[in-house]
């Protein structure tokens, strides 16, 4: 996936990349990864209080956003208005937000946006395996674990996983999950995302981890993914940066890029 023979931009030069959230945990790692790859070039590193126009002025062809859920939609709108493709890792994407992005793209047929809840290849596979397993089990619960500086809960990955499990169960006509709880302290059963219970753990020492627990008569299946280092996300980010100039419209998740 980091093959340097990948197509570069249409002029044959390196793809010019701007990073938003460039001084954050992910942004710093993305700047390093872009610097280290021969077929992409870091032209702008923008963080809080820097003008977004730095990225457009530097001629960015792709903007990578790892900021916060409260500013990412404004960043997206701005980049599309500037005619710049976007790769978005920032969490907070509801179905409504995705529809809004599709609406913005409707009159920009040459532009592409990739929104990926998780750029870790193992995490993408974990979500695919969970979707495949969903129809075979009566019960499914998600336990996500992250570092305590994470601002959102549940994680974007957990929300996406819950949605794909719910879709697979609906398509299979699965019955509601068994759960006789009637006496519950608030939060004890996590939160329900489209009928799938999600539990969020925050603890020092963690990076990004998720278990999907399936159960049915006499057996359970646990699918677990661990990111121990943010380097785990970089092959996926670079894959999206290389792909997005050739993928008009909205791509959600890395699945289509890995086929
Ligand atoms: N899809 C994936 O694979 C992954 C997604 N994420 C997601 O990425 C996001 C960022 O995570 P993380 O790097 O840990 O968070 P950080 O808080 O470390 O980084 C966010 C950075 O964005 C900056 N920022 C805030 N507002 C703006 C703005 N308007 N313009 C430019 N920069 C801005 C922040 O500045 P300041 O601190 O000064 O406010 C900070 O430097 C989160 O939503 C997280 O869930 C994280 C890992 C992987
Ligand atoms: O904030 C993080 O760290 C992460 N955020 C993403 C999410 O919300 O799922 C991806 C990964 O879990 C790391």
Q: Is 119 assigned a ligand-binding role in the annotation?
A: yes
Whose C-alpha lies nearest to ligand 1, atom 19? 24
**Other C-beta atoms within 10 Å of 86: how many?**
26
Residue 44 is labelled as binding a ligand: no
What stretch of H or E contains 87?
A: strand 85-88
Burial of 177 (0-12, 13-18, 19+ CB in 10 A): middle
Counting ligands in written order, the one closest to the CA of 227 is: 2
Q: How far is the CA of 233 from the centre of ligand 1 (A)?
A: 14
Residues enclosing ligand 2, CB less than 6 A?
91, 117-118, 146, 150, 155-157, 208
CA 98 to chain centre: 12
Which tokens hold the place of 9? 């931009």
Q: Catalytic residue positions? A: 146, 150
According to the annotation, is 195 in a ligand binding site? no
Instruction: Judge: domain 121-177+190-228, CATH 3.20.20.70.
Output: no
Structure confidence at residue 11 (pLDDT): 64
User: 154 preceded by cis ω (within 30°)?
Assistant: yes
Helix (H) or strand (E) holding 143: strand 139-146
Domain boundaries, the chain: 15-115+231-257, 121-177+190-228
Atom of ligand 2 nearest to the CA of 210: 12
Q: Which residues surround ligand 1 with Cβ inside 6 Å?
A: 20-21, 23-27, 46-48, 66-69, 71, 89-91, 116-119, 156, 233
Decide: helix, strand or coil at residue 248: coil
Q: Which atom of ligand 1 is nearest to the CA of 155?
A: 45
ipTM of the complex: 0.99
Residue 159 in tokens = 């929300």
Class of domain 15-115+231-257: alpha beta
pLDDT at position 259: 87
Q: What is the pLDDT of residue 9?
A: 53
Residue 156, annotated as binding a ligand: yes
**Residue ID of nearest Cα to ligand 2 atom 12:** 208
Distance 48 CA to ligand 1 centre (A): 10
- Which of 67, 146, 198 maximizes ligand 2 atoms within 8 Å of its Cβ, making it the mutation to test the pocket? 146
Q: pLDDT means per 10 residues in the chain (259 residues)?
A: 45 91 98 98 97 97 98 98 98 96 97 98 98 98 98 97 98 97 96 97 98 98 98 98 98 95
Q: At what angle do helices 121-133 and 234-243 cross, to 10 degrees?
A: 90
């Amino acid at each position: 996936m980091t093959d340097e023979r990948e197509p570069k931009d249409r002029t044959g030069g390196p793809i010019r990349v701007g990073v938003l959230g460039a001084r954050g945990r992910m942004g710093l790692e993305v700047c390093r990864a872009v610097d280290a790859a021969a077929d992409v070039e870091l032209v702008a590193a923008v963080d809080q209080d820097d003008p977004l126009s730095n990225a457009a002025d530097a001629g960015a062809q792709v903007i990578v956003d790892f900021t916060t859920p409260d500013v990412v939609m404004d960043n997206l709108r701005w980049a599309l208005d500037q005619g710049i493709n976007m790769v978005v890792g920032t969490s907070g994407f509801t179905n409504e937000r995705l529809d809004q992005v599709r609406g913005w793209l409707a009159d920009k047929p040459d532009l592409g946006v990739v929104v990926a809840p998780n750029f870790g290849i193992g995490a993408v596979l974990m979500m695919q395996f969970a979707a495949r397993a969903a129809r075979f089990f009566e019960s499914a619960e998600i336990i996500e674990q992250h570092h305590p500086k994470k601002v959102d809960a549940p994680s974007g990955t957990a929300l996406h996983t819950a949605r794909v499990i719910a879709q697979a169960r609906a398509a299979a006509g699965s019955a509601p999950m068994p759960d006789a709880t009637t006496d519950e302290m608030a939060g004890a059963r996590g939160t329900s995302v489209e009928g799938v219970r999600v539990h969020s753990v925050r603890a020092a020492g963690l990076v990004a981890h998720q278990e999907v627990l399936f159960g049915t008569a006499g057996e359970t299946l646990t699918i677990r993914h661990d990111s121990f280092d943010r380097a785990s996300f970089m092959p996926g980010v670079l894959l999206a940066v290389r792909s997005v100039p050739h993928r008009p419209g909205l791509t959600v998740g890395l699945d289509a890029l890995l086929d």
